[in-house]
Amino acid sequence: MLIHKAIVGAATGGLVTLAALVLLLHPTGSERLVVACLLQVIVTVVVVGLIERPGVRRPTTWAGAMAGAIAFVGLSVLTLAFVPHEWITFADAELNWGRRDLLIFDTAVIDFSRQAFRDIIEAGLYTNTFAAMLALMLLWQRRFDLAEEKAAKQAAKAEKEAVPAGTSAYGRPMTKQA
């Protein structure tokens, strides 16, 4: 479970970092990218919150399954289409990283352009968000089991910490002082 949360946290933190860097590099012209990144972070936080407090276990209905599928498709479009597109648009238009002749460094073996750097960031967006979506799907499917495990651990901890306050007149241990 910790590895799933680490993946989700890394992807969310990466988006917040990207939004902050974009705002620092170029405060105007980056509104759509920043809004898309923040919207993705908000949706991810809401889903993680729903996973942490799953509610009552009920059988899945057709309507519930369709609502979940629509929400998943919406999140997929946001994370795998809109955010990378806005990044490429921002990098090409505002940062002028779309041309191959703008080199970051040029050696006899490797010439590394800003366009390549832009594409590396885009590939990172795809891989991190895809890994986070897989982790969220696994956490969502196991949300009730995780809640039961958490409740069992808390009950075991409370039972272990409970110290009898003495014995009653009948010889049984008491949990409170009389």
Flag whether 152 is in a domain. no
Flag whether 80 is in a domain. yes
pLDDT in tens, 110-128: 777 788 888 888 998 888 8
**In the predicted structure, residue 27 carries a pLDDT above the cut 90:** no
Flag whether 33 is in a domain. yes
Handedness of CA 89, 93, 98, 102 (dihedral sign): negative
3-state secondary structure of 167: strand
Q: Where residue 63 falls among pLDDT bands split at 50, 70, 90?
A: very high
| In 50-119, beta strands by DSSP E | 103-106, 111-113
Question: Which region holds residue 164: left if phi is over 0, alpha if psi is between -120 and 50, else beta?
Answer: beta
Flag whether 170 is in a domain. no
Flag whether 10 is in a domain. yes
- Provide the pLDDT for residue 66: 93
Here the tokens at position 101 are 């002749």
Flag whether 171 is in a domain. no
CA distance 77 to 83: 9
| In the chain, beta strands by DSSP E | 103-106, 111-113, 166-167, 173-174
Flag whether 117 is in a domain. yes
pTM, rounded to two decimals: 0.71
Domain count, the chain: 1
Range of the domain at 13: 2-141
pLDDT in tens, 133-162: 888 888 888 888 888 888 888 888 877 776
Flag whether 160 is in a domain. no
